[in-house]
Amino acid sequence: MADRRTTDLSEIIEQQKLTPFIVRLVLLSWIVTFFDGFDVSVLSFVAPDLSAALHINRLTLGNVFGAGQTGMVLGGFVFGYLGDRIGRRVSIILATASFGALSLAIAFSGTYATLLGLRFVEGIAMGGLFPLAWALNIEYVPRRYRSTVVTLIMVGYSIGSSSAGPMTILLAPRYGWRPLFVVGGCLGIVGTAMLFLWLPESLKFLEIENKRLDLIATYARRLAPGRTISATDRFVISDEGRTPAKKFSVSMLFRNELRWITPLMWIAYTASSMAVFFGSSWGPTILQLVGFNRSTAALTASLNVLAGALGGLLLMRFVDTRGANSIAIFPAFATPILLAMGFSGIGGRGFLVLYFFGTMCIVGAHYGLMSIAGIFYPSAYRSNGTGWTSSVGKIGSIVGPMLGGVALSSRMPVKLVFAMLAVCPFVVAACVLIIGRLQKRLALTEGAQRWTESGALLPGEIPAHE
């Protein structure tokens, strides 16, 4: 036993080149978030048809939106826990299969109560997928590319969301709202099959749990082709402490420097989610209320989802190379744009231009937050860390759509809701600026490369062996 060769998995991950194994992992994650994005957003596009078919008003429909978001809150907690206990792979497959099956069930629902209940349970699965996908990919790519990879994966979500608009225009006028959920369910089932065949388990999870040494060796060889690696090697993770996932407690998220970073992330994510999910839930309806026809509203909403993806892509390399401060630029621009939309009286094409850039800044900043949500926590409880951040932030995604339903049901001018939302990006900008300052301060502190007890490297730091 003393002669066993030591293989450092952290070193392999940090020094790897682009391999087909990593490309396939990112592509698979992209595809399932595409399916999830379609499933999350399709409800907002079929809202008018669904409302008429089930005889429910806007305020009641807002409760359906809110039920989905409430489920997503629980999903982050539930699947974050499962991801650290039974593995990222099994949990991701379970989440994808669940939202696919529940989408099919929604297609055949006939009452408001059934729709409300199914959307709530479906939300649990949809909310659990994101933090698991972030955690798995973060644990396979070098630290210098983590924000970039998370952003690329979430572009799949945006494209999936945007595809719901054209699909609604194609199917809803002739067949109604139900076929849209059939499509979403079938996509989820296809995604489940692909994940079952090709999705790997996290190397670091397997090592921490001391499971499947043969599988660890197989995955490691795929990351480092040509290197001799055997299941008899002694595998280590040099850049993190060894904290078994089963010993996780919420207090770990507040140890040492995390006592500031975790609450700031939660506040920023909540404010950002409030603005993002208000727009995704009520965007097509608001555009119709301010004078645009249904086709224009659906197409504009779809294009603006892509605008958010563009914003995330513009940010990703800056976040990896310059830290959290880079995120603040987008919410700083979004605040005056929302105020102009609410108070200036601009209409027609000018309003659509403001709507486009406002969405790009709001959603782009949200992508930036998602890209750093998991990098502060070590692998042993990364799924829990990202799950808690995502779930707490979903408070905003519940409040946003529900307040939208209240505002749109009142006598308040429709455009004023944008001015009300301006407080959200303002809060996001303030939080990420503080996080960025903490990040820089920690990077300059002697011995900050490893955090006491958590053992995590700072985001953007390169391990000592490099």
**Where residue 146 sits, what CATH number does that domain have?**
1.20.1250.20
Rounded to an integer, what distance in angstroms lies between the CA atom of residue 280 and that of residue 359?
Answer: 10
**pLDDT for residue 41:** 84
Tally of domains within the chain: 1
**pLDDT for residue 242:** 53
**pLDDT for residue 466:** 33
Which domain, by its residues, includes 436? Answer: 6-444
Q: Is residue 455 part of a domain?
A: no
Q: Is residue 461 part of a domain?
A: no
**pLDDT for residue 429:** 95
Q: Is residue 457 part of a domain?
A: no
What one-letter code names the amino acid at 162? S
Give me the DSSP letters along 28-95.
HHHHHHHHHHHHHHHHHHSHHHHHHHHT--HHHHHHHHHHHHHHHHHHHHHHHHHHHHT-HHHHHHHH
Q: Is residue 103 part of a domain?
A: yes
- Cβ atoms of 165 and 302 within 8 Å: the answer is yes
338: left (phi over 0), alpha (psi -120 to 50) or beta: alpha
Q: What is the pLDDT along the chain (466 residues), one digit of tens a residue?
A: 456 788 888 899 988 887 889 999 999 999 999 999 898 889 888 888 888 888 888 778 878 887 887 888 899 889 988 988 899 999 999 999 999 999 999 999 888 999 999 999 999 999 889 889 988 998 898 888 888 898 889 888 878 887 888 898 889 888 889 999 999 999 999 999 999 999 999 988 898 888 789 999 999 999 998 888 998 888 888 766 555 545 778 888 888 778 888 999 999 999 999 998 888 777 777 888 877 887 777 777 777 777 878 888 888 888 888 888 889 999 999 999 999 988 887 878 888 888 889 989 998 999 889 888 877 787 778 888 888 998 898 788 778 877 877 877 777 787 888 888 899 999 999 999 998 888 777 665 534 444 444 444 444 443 333 3
Q: Is residue 456 part of a domain?
A: no
Polymer length of the chain: 466
Q: Is residue 460 part of a domain?
A: no
Q: Is residue 202 part of a domain?
A: yes
Q: Is residue 169 part of a domain?
A: yes
**pLDDT for residue 365:** 92
- Cβ atoms of 91 and 142 within 8 Å: the answer is no
